[in-house]
Amino acid sequence: MITVSQTKLAQLLGVSVGRISQLKTDRRLVQVGDGIDLAASLALLRDTADPGKASALRLDRASAWLETALRSAAAATEAEDDADTVAAPTASPAYREARTRKERAMADMAELNYLLAAGELMTLEDANYAIADVGTQVRTAIEISPDRLTPIFVGGSQEEIEAGLLAMLRTVIHDAREVHRRHMALAQQGAVPGLP
């Protein structure tokens, strides 16, 4: 079991310590002694999330951190176990090769988790949401434009209509760029400092 402090949890979820206190009051966290059971709390937060509301909690990043912490703990246990049994010099080449492959994979995973925490990578789930949000913003604005523009264009010249259509599209593109910028900033700000 991995337990964390309130401060660490706030850092992992990208929210204030005050918000963590509120989640505790709302009984959405699982406490163990002075700490918080991270795996159980993340599961509880997911189960009790309001499906109609976008959550500000960075559950995916906290889960990634938890996975890395669990893997590190498992690797430490295995290393102790191996130290007690097979000494490296007497191990077979096949054994050494397998351990090297495993270490290489663990190192690559640690690197990916670091890049995720550093805001250079994002989960596909977040990326799909960000792209879909921009697409929806554009589609909706263009779809409702006839209702909005028809009364304005009545009696207008071709030049006025063209200028109006261009202005509408420029606003749509500008607003979509703003939505996109916000998503990118959020992905970068969601970085978890100190991830192993």
Work out which of 27, 173, 189, 196 binds other proteins, going by CB under 8 A. 173
- Name the 3-class secondary structure at 35: strand
Q: Could you give the string, one character per residue 97-136, with x where binding to other proteins holds by CB under 8 A and - elsewhere?
A: -xx-xx--xx-xx--xx-xx--xxxxxxx-x--xx--xx-
**SS3 assignment, position 31:** strand
Q: Which member of 161, 171, 192, 196 binds other proteins (CB under 8 A)? A: 161
**Do residues 133 and 186 lie in contact, with contact meaning Cβ atoms separated by under 8 Å?**
no
Of the listed pieces 10-18, 28-36, 37-45, 158-166, which binds other proteins according to CB under 8 A?
158-166
Compute the least distance from the CB of residue 64 to other proteins, in Å. 8
User: How far does the chain reach from its first CA to its final CA, in angstroms?
Assistant: 17
SS3 category, 4: strand
Whose tokens are 């795996």? That residue is: 39
Tokens of residue 170, six digits: 């420029």
Site for other proteins contains 177 (CB under 8 A): yes
CA distance 179 to 185: 10
Residue 87 touches other proteins, criterion: CB under 8 A: no
Neighbours of 11 (CB within 10 A): 22
Interface residues toward other proteins, by CB under 8 A:
78, 85-86, 90-92, 94-95, 98-99, 101-102, 105-106, 108-109, 112-113, 115-116, 119-125, 127, 130-131, 134-135, 138-139, 142-143, 145-147, 149-151, 153-159, 161-162, 165-166, 169-170, 172-173, 176-177, 180, 184, 187-188
